[in-house]
Amino acid sequence: MKAIRGATTISADTPAEIKDAVGELLIQMREQNGLTDENMICILFSNTSDIKSAYPAKAAREAGFYSCALFSSLEPEIEGALPLCIRVMILAEIENPVPVYLRGAANLRKDLKKFAVALDGPSGSGKSTVAKMLARKLNILYLDTGAMYRACALKAIGEKVERFTEDAVAPLIENISLNIQYTDGAQRTILDGEDVSEKIRRPEVSMAASAISALPCVRKKMVEMQREIARKMSCVLDGRDIGTHVLPDAPFKFFVTASSRVRAKRRYDELRQKGYDVEYDNVLQEIEERDYNDSHRAFSPLRQAEDAVVVNTDEMNAQEVLDFIVRKIQEKV
């Protein structure tokens, strides 16, 4: 069991303000921590004594949090304390608690200021393994943006789209029901209500994802979703255009790369381990084709951001890459 902290402020002591602020806080805590009715044990609130119009616990019930025990208490009057502040602690059966401080309360935890780490690079460079490890180490979210393009490809394959053109794909993408959820810190990709996290890893989806991700209608929609997630919470994003296009102002940017032979070997081992009957030469050819597609498309191609730190992982294992990246981040803060 872990304790997750959070806090927010209201601008006036009214039941409507309390309901709004508590609802927003709990929903973000739920999203960022993968909370469910099953894994949440209790929610404890405390509020400053200038809040008298409603119990935060009541607001929580009204926001739909009624399956676990709720408790409200009053904080002592402390001189100079942040006024109109509601604090919360949620006890839950999860692995990695992510604290959430919103509105005026964001200043209480300057160490938690939202930031993004961009990890770009070609297929098989090892960036997703490192991105996951890094997110865990920094206690922030990992967003695998490739999974989003893979889900678009799966949708198009499912709808029997034969040629990936703007005209054929745009109507599908416009109304796509794509949700990124987190279960115990692991990203799950939900397409039309179905968890497709495994299906999107199939080799045929990889090639289709590379093709579909070249379409502006697809990129525009996915980039909007990625920016929205990064606006709400600190995260490590791995992709192709994070540092150049999605979040050009990200404070930490890395371009993780390796030779195509090393990348093909890694992908080959991974696919074999999953039971796919693949040939090394075919995997290499696919990697090189995808590299070409991803870096030659007209719209937002795979490119190293000028201010990104390049990490060549040919001779490094995941732990060494992680240590290198963490060191670079620490040097900068």
Binding site for ligand DC (CB under 6 A): 123, 145-146, 149-150, 206, 209-210, 213, 239-241, 290, 294
Of 100 and 236, nearer to ligand DC (C-beta) is 236
Nearest to 52 by CA among 8, 24, 86: 86
Q: From the CB of 69, what's the least distance to ligand DC, in Å?
A: 41
Q: Does 274 appear as a known binding residue? A: no
Provide the b/e sequence for 194-219 (b: ≥16 CB within 10 Å).
eebbebbebeebbebbbbbbbbebbb
Helices 166-174 and 216-232: crossing angle, nearest 10°?
A: 30
Q: From the CB of 26, what's the least distance to ligand DC, in Å?
A: 30
Q: Does 126 appear as a known binding residue? A: yes
Of 72 and 145, nearer to ligand DC (C-beta) is 145
Q: Does 97 appear as a known binding residue? A: no
Query: Which residues share a beta bridge with 89?
Result: 5, 44
Q: Does 128 appear as a known binding residue? A: yes
Q: Does 129 appear as a known binding residue? A: yes
Find out whether 89 and 3 touch, Cβ atoms under 8 Å: yes
Q: From the CB of 123, what's the least distance to ligand DC, in Å?
A: 5
Alpha helices per DSSP H over 213-279: 216-232, 260-273
- The 8-class DSSP code of residue 93 comes to S
Of 9 and 206, nearer to ligand DC (C-beta) is 206
Helix (H/G/I), strand (E/B), else coil: 97: coil
Q: Does 185 appear as a known binding residue? A: no
Of 123 and 257, nearer to ligand DC (C-beta) is 123
- The 8-class DSSP code of residue 112 comes to G
Of 28 and 145, nearer to ligand DC (C-beta) is 145
Q: Could you tell me where the beta strands, DSSP code E, fall in the chain?
A: 2-9, 40-47, 69-74, 85-92, 100-101, 116-120, 141-144, 178-183, 186-191, 194-195, 235-239, 252-257, 309-312
Q: From the CB of 125, what's the least distance to ligand DC, in Å?
A: 9
Q: From the CB of 157, what's the least distance to ligand DC, in Å?
A: 14
Q: Does 124 appear as a known binding residue? A: yes
Q: In what order do the strands lie in the sheet with 141-144?
A: 141-144, 235-239, 116-120, 252-257, 309-312
Q: Does 123 appear as a known binding residue? A: yes
Q: From the CB of 79, what's the least distance to ligand DC, in Å?
A: 49
Nearest to 74 by CA among 82, 86, 91: 86
Of 9 and 129, nearer to ligand DC (C-beta) is 129
Residues annotated within a binding site: 121-129
Residues annotated within a binding site for ATP: 121-129
